[in-house]
Amino acid sequence: MTNSVFPRQVRLLTAGDYRRVFSRADSKAQTSEILILARRNELGYSRLGLVVAKKHAKRAVDRNEIKRIVRESFRHHQSELENFDCVVLSRSGAKDLDKVQLRNMVDQLWTRLRRKRHGSRAPQKRKTA
Partner RNA sequence: GAAGUUGGUCAGGCAAUCGCUGCUGAAUCGGUUUACCGAUUCAGGAGAGGAAAGUCCGGGCUCCACAGAGCAGAGUGCCAGGUAACGCCUGGGCAGUGUAAACUGACGGCCAGUGCAGCAGAGAGUAUACCGCCGAUGGCCCGCAAGCUUGUCUUGUUGGCACAGGUAAGGGUGAAAGGGUGCGGUAAGAGCGCACCGCGCGUCUGGUAACAGUUCGUGGCAUGGUAAACCCCACUCGGAGCAAGACCAAAUAGGUUCCCAUUGGCGUGGCUCGCGUUGGGAACGGGUAGGUUGCUUGAACCCUGGAGCGAUUCAGGGUCUAGAUGAAUGAUUGUCGCUUCUUCGGAGGUAACAGAACCCGGCUUAUCGACCAACUUCACAC
Q: Which of residues 95-114 bind RNA (CB under 7 A)?
A: 99-100
Task: Please state the separation of Cα 69 from the chain's center in Å.
Answer: 11
Q: Shortest approach of RNA to residue 50 CB, angstroms?
A: 5
Q: Shortest approach of RNA to residue 126 CB, angstroms?
A: 32
Q: Where are the beta strands (DSSP E) in 47-125?
A: 47-51, 84-90
Determine if 9 is a binding residue for RNA (CB under 7 A).
yes
Determine if 43 is a binding residue for RNA (CB under 7 A).
no
**Contact range with RNA by CB under 7 A, out of 33-41, 65-73, 108-116, 118-126:** 65-73
Determine if 68 is a binding residue for RNA (CB under 7 A).
yes
Residue 40, Ramachandran bin (φ over 0: left; ψ between -120 and 50: alpha; else beta): beta
The rounded distance, in Å, linking the Cα atoms of 11 and 71 is 10
**In Å, how far are 28, 47, 85 from 9, measured between CA atoms?**
22, 8, 12
> What is the C-alpha R_g of the chain?
14
Site string for RNA, 18-37 (x = CB under 7 A): x-------------------
Q: Which residues bind RNA (CB under 7 A)?
A: 2, 4-9, 11-15, 18, 49-51, 59-61, 64-65, 67-68, 71-72, 75, 87, 99-100
